[in-house]
Amino acid sequence: MEWIYLCFVVFLFMLAISDLWVGVSNDAVNFLNSAVGAKAAKFRTAIIVAALGVFCGATMSNGMMDIARHGIFQPEHFAFSELMFIFLAVMVTDIILLDAFNSLGMPTSTTVSMVFELLGASFAFALLKMNSGEGALGFSDYLNTSKALSVIVGIFLSVAIAFTFGVVVQWITRAIFTFRYSKNLKWKIGLFGGIAVTCIIYFMLLKGIKTMSFMNADVKHWIADNTWIILGGCMAFFTVLMQILHVCKVNVFKVVVLIGTFALATAFAGNDLVNFIGVPLAGFESFMDWKNAGAGDPSAHMMDVLNGEARTPFVFLFIAGVIMVISLATSKKAHNVTKTEINLAKQDEGEEMFGSSRVARSVVRWASSTANFMIKYTPESIRAWIDKRFDNSTIEIEEGASYDLVRASVNLVLSSLLIALGTSLKLPLSTTYVTFMVAMGSSLADRAWSRESAVYRVTGVLSVIGGWFMTAGIAFAAAFIIAMIMHFGGIVAAVIIVLVGLGVMIHSNIRYKMKNDEENGDKAFRAILNSEDKAKTWELLRGYIAANERQVLDDISFHYENITEGLMTEDVKMLRKSFYELKGDKEKMKNLRRKQTVCMRRVDQETALTKNAWFFASFNELEQLYYTIRRICEPAYEHVDNNFTPLPEKYINEFRPQKESLKDCIAEFGVLSSIGEYERLRDLEPRLGLLQHEFSELRKELMHDIQAKQVNINTAYLYLNVLQESESMVITLSRLIRSSRKFQLG
């Protein structure tokens, strides 16, 4: 029996390694976004600074893991075997849950997931113990529900407070510095830098350093008694230092961003991420206590030992720090989570990660109406002054950055200050929520959410917030179910669940890698955005649009083949697949149009004025082809799905040659456009004219059959729709040839 539980402990540590890896991928969003989004330093430099902070925070933490020992449940009322199942359920749920969020690029709270997983698993065993009639204990004797309640309150507080302060502080800061901040520094930068660094130090004193291993009670008391003296001295010293650095041509904003990145990374590793090893360490201590007691009946050995205070051996902290640093430097998912927040906060328009939702549209309309009301009653002079201060037509921004250094500094400083204030006031603010919502608030204040992008940004923010609330519910339910399965299935079920959990995570990583490889294929779009040479931009754009045209035409040809064949062979699965894929393609077309429009803005004005009409005409024709395919698919799918009368063999035989001819024309168009042979597209026009005539003749013959009542009426109307839409595709393709040739050649 002893070796089985030893294996469980080993499993817990294996899962802890995965959890640390996944956890730092999730929390990278918090301390990397500002440095990466503003290009305060090279990505490698930002990673190094964050890695140093992570390593320092992990290795110098005192390793207090009370949340896993007695923060959620009362260990004296649980047996050793029950707690081992609880710990296994928590770890398996945690790695799967966080990995799923990371794969979706959604930041979530590691603290919330851990708390509610512990609550769900321990709730399951509390129910079982109460149902078995063991004693007269109630839920309050088994569980510490106040901890879960504090986390829920923290979610609401974090979201509302951080977003509000993000808007207000960024608005004031931008009004002071404007978007051309280098002309408005002088004496301001020293004062700003002094305040910023002092706030970060205040944050580290209260949230980060106080938990370090070298901080004994006397030092903590001294810091508490002399906090204002320390902060006053720091304020004076760093104000002078930052002013001197500015005089020496050092960019103070970059200094502030990198210091803030280090501070947040240190605090995260020391306070949040190290919690991931709390569960396996609690399991290890439970195992040692049971073993030292004689390794008797595991269901009778109660775990009072976990009520005591524990310190984590340095070796565990060191290993945890190494794992987190390696994960931070190599994890693609960490970069993906970072990309989500940067995309939602970027200053310019471009490809949006999220679509439009009804709630977001309502929020944007309400906000727009409110803003218009306030503008209406604001004096003209004040409106003019505000517009002048917030004029972003000549924004000073690093090449390739999503926003400027002023906003990046505010994000880090304000996040640090709010977390520190929350800690001092005993408010359970979530660090993940604070950093994300501050970034969203500051981007709104900076007018980064234009009328063209606001609905997508709001949808993204609401999706992330919804994910946070879902985290709690999913974590609780999943851990509850897994704990129940382990209880009734015993050790065999526990082993199977652990192996399944690892398998799911491995499969998720493989699938994510494939998805990531596909997304990284759009290098041409990024090359256009990063190009400064207008002539080169135009050439890149021509190639980009030609490649997109071929891809869209290939997809249309593919769907046309599947839909028509599915109809003629009554293959409902093929039709259903096309039906749902075309729904997804609608969003792809919208994103493609948005990206290409953004790229068109990068070319010189003369070229844009000449080519814009043909650019939009070409894309309109592509969209028309897409909608034509949908108009064929929907009735065909409904017809076959309802098992209506199939197409007669006569119609199938006469339709197939024309269908193949249309596919050949589409394929040839794609090939010629992709290699730049636009003059040769003229050769397609006679063939398309003939094909249009053939579809028209087939349509006339069908109309004759309908009049003569020689065909089932439902089947006839369906076939008529196919012929009409196919003829429409031919006409649209002819127009696309002309507009594409005009756009590419003139």
Question: Could you write out the three-class secondary structure of 247-289?
Answer: HCCCCHHHHHHHHHHHHHHHHHHHHHHHHHHHHHHHHHHHHHH
Q: How far apart are CA 339 and CA 333, in angstroms?
A: 9
Tell me the three state secondary structure of residue 445: helix
Question: What is the CA angle 466-469-473, rounded to 5?
Answer: 130
**Residues 77 and 142 sit within 8 Å (Cβ to Cβ):** yes
Among residues 501, 519, 537, the one where a domain terminates is 519
Residue 157: predicted pLDDT: 77
Q: Where are the alpha helices (DSSP H) in 601-683?
A: 605-641, 649-674
Q: Are residues 514 and 632 in the same domain?
A: no
Q: How far apart are CA 209 and CA 219, in angstroms?
A: 11
**Residues 88 and 11 sit within 8 Å (Cβ to Cβ):** yes
Give the model confidence (pLDDT) of 144-154 as tens digits: 777 667 766 77
Nearest to 37, CA basis, from 329, 400, 325: 400
Q: Are residues 533 and 501 in the same domain?
A: no
Q: Are residues 307 and 440 in the same domain?
A: yes
Q: Are residues 587 and 457 in the same domain?
A: no
List Cα–Cα distances, 205 to 226, 238, 261, 282, in angstroms. 11, 16, 15, 28
Nearest to 349, CA basis, from 591, 603, 105: 591
Tell me the three state secondary structure of residue 712: coil
pLDDT at 54 over 60: yes
Nearest to 145, CA basis, from 118, 114, 109: 118
Q: Which of 99-103, 110-114, 280-284, 464-468 has the lowest mean pLDDT?
A: 99-103
Give the model confidence (pLDDT) of 400-409 as tens digits: 677 788 888 8
Task: pLDDT band for 589, please (50, 70, 90 cuts).
Answer: confident
pLDDT at 96 over 70: yes
Task: For residue 73, list its beta bridge partners.
Answer: 143
**Residues 141 and 415 sit within 8 Å (Cβ to Cβ):** no
Q: Which of 111-120, 135-144, 184-193, 291-300 has the lowest mean pLDDT?
A: 135-144
Residue 106: predicted pLDDT: 64
Task: pLDDT band for 17, please (50, 70, 90 cuts).
Answer: confident
Q: How far apart are CA 501 and CA 100, in angstroms?
A: 12
**Residues 54 and 329 sit within 8 Å (Cβ to Cβ):** no
Give the model confidence (pLDDT) of 505-561 as tens digits: 676 666 656 555 455 446 677 777 667 677 788 888 888 888 888 888 899 999 999
Nearest to 457, CA basis, from 520, 589, 583, 367: 367
List Cα–Cα distances, 300 to 135, 509, 544, in angstroms. 14, 40, 69
Q: How far apart are CA 436 and CA 460, in angstroms?
A: 12
- Tokens representing residue 193 in the block: 């830098």
Task: pLDDT band for 63, please (50, 70, 90 cuts).
Answer: very low
Main-chain dihedrals φ then ψ at residue 675, nearest 5 degrees: -100, 5
Q: Are residues 528 and 444 in the same domain?
A: no
Q: Where are the alpha helices (DSSP H) in 38-144?
A: 43-59, 66, 80-103, 110-131, 139-142
72-98 burial, b at 16+ Cβ within 10 Å, e below that, comes to bbbbebbbbbbbbbbbbbbbbbbbbbb
Q: Are residues 446 and 388 in the same domain?
A: yes
- Residue 11: CA atoms inside 13 Å, Cβ hemisphere, count? 26
Ranges of beta strands (E only) in 448-556 are none
Q: Are residues 68 and 201 in the same domain?
A: yes
pLDDT at 9 over 80: yes
Q: Are residues 415 and 534 in the same domain?
A: no
pLDDT mean across residues, the chain? 80
Tell me the three state secondary structure of residue 716: helix
Give the model confidence (pLDDT) of 360-381 as tens digits: 888 888 888 888 888 888 888 8
Residue 520: predicted pLDDT: 47
Task: For residue 79, list its beta bridge partners.
Answer: 302
CATH number of the domain within which 542 lies: 1.20.58.220
Q: What average pLDDT score do residues 334-339 get?
A: 59
Among residues 462, 493, 519, the one where a domain terminates is 519
More confident residue, 313 or 592: 592
- The secondary structure of residue 196, as a DSSP letter, is H
Ranges of beta strands (E only) in 124-175 are none
| Residue partners of 657: CB distance under 8 A and separation at least 6 | none
pLDDT at 46 over 70: yes
Q: Which of 77-81, 258-262, 601-605 has the lowest mean pLDDT?
A: 601-605
Q: Are residues 442 and 541 in the same domain?
A: no
Give the model confidence (pLDDT) of 237-272 as tens digits: 989 998 898 888 888 888 888 888 888 787 777 666
**Residues 351 and 594 sit within 8 Å (Cβ to Cβ):** yes
Percent of the chain with pLDDT over 70: 83
Q: What average pLDDT score do residues 668-693 get?
A: 86
Q: How far apart are CA 672 and CA 670, in angstroms?
A: 6
Q: Are residues 488 and 592 in the same domain?
A: no
Nearest to 631, CA basis, from 735, 720, 736: 720
Q: Are residues 170 and 113 in the same domain?
A: yes
Q: What average pLDDT score do residues 696-722 get?
A: 88
C-alpha gyration radius of the chain: 31
Residue 234: predicted pLDDT: 87
Residue 592: predicted pLDDT: 81
Task: Read off the amino acid at residue 167.
Answer: V
- Tokens representing residue 682 in the block: 């003229």
Residue 64: predicted pLDDT: 47
List Cα–Cα distances, 206 to 32, 119, 156, 200, 419, in angstroms. 21, 28, 22, 10, 9
More confident residue, 37 or 581: 581
Tell me the three state secondary structure of residue 704: helix
Domain that holds residue 667: 523-745
Q: What average pLDDT score do residues 146-166 get?
A: 77
Question: Does the predicted model carry a pTM greater than 0.75?
Answer: no
Q: How many domains does the chain have?
A: 2
Nearest to 102, CA basis, from 335, 358, 409, 385: 335
As to burial, measured by CB atoms within 10 angstroms (0-12 exposed, 13-18 middle, 19+ buried), residue 708 is exposed
List Cα–Cα distances, 32 to 25, 314, 589, in angstroms. 11, 26, 32
Q: Are residues 419 and 560 in the same domain?
A: no
Main-chain dihedrals φ then ψ at residue 79, nearest 5 degrees: -85, 165
Task: For residue 61, list its beta bridge partners.
Answer: 212
Tell me the three state secondary structure of residue 143: strand
Residue 560: predicted pLDDT: 93
More confident residue, 67 or 95: 95
Nearest to 457, CA basis, from 470, 468, 442, 472: 442
Q: How far apart are CA 588 and CA 590, in angstroms?
A: 5
Task: For residue 302, list its beta bridge partners.
Answer: 79
Question: What is the CA angle 145-151-152, rounded to 5?
Answer: 90
Q: Which of 328-337, 414-423, 621-630 has the lowest mean pLDDT?
A: 328-337
What is the DSSP annotation of 389-420?
HT--TT----TT-SS-HHHHHHHHHHHHHHHH
Among residues 491, 519, 547, the one where a domain terminates is 519
Q: Which of 65-69, 180-184, 443-447 has the lowest mean pLDDT?
A: 65-69
Q: Which long-range contacts (CB under 8 A, 24 or more apart) does 354-362 make?
A: 354/456, 354/457, 354/459, 354/460, 354/463, 355/456, 355/459, 355/587, 355/590, 356/455, 356/456, 356/459, 357/455, 357/459, 357/462, 359/459, 359/462, 360/455, 360/456, 360/458, 360/459, 360/462, 361/455
Q: How far apart are CA 405 and CA 40, in angstroms?
A: 7
More confident residue, 574 or 339: 574
| Residue partners of 10: CB distance under 8 A and separation at least 6 | none
pLDDT at 135 over 60: no
**Residues 407 and 38 sit within 8 Å (Cβ to Cβ):** yes
Chain centroid offset of residue 265 CA? 20
Q: What average pLDDT score do residues 105-109 get?
A: 66
Residue 316: predicted pLDDT: 78
Residue 574: predicted pLDDT: 92
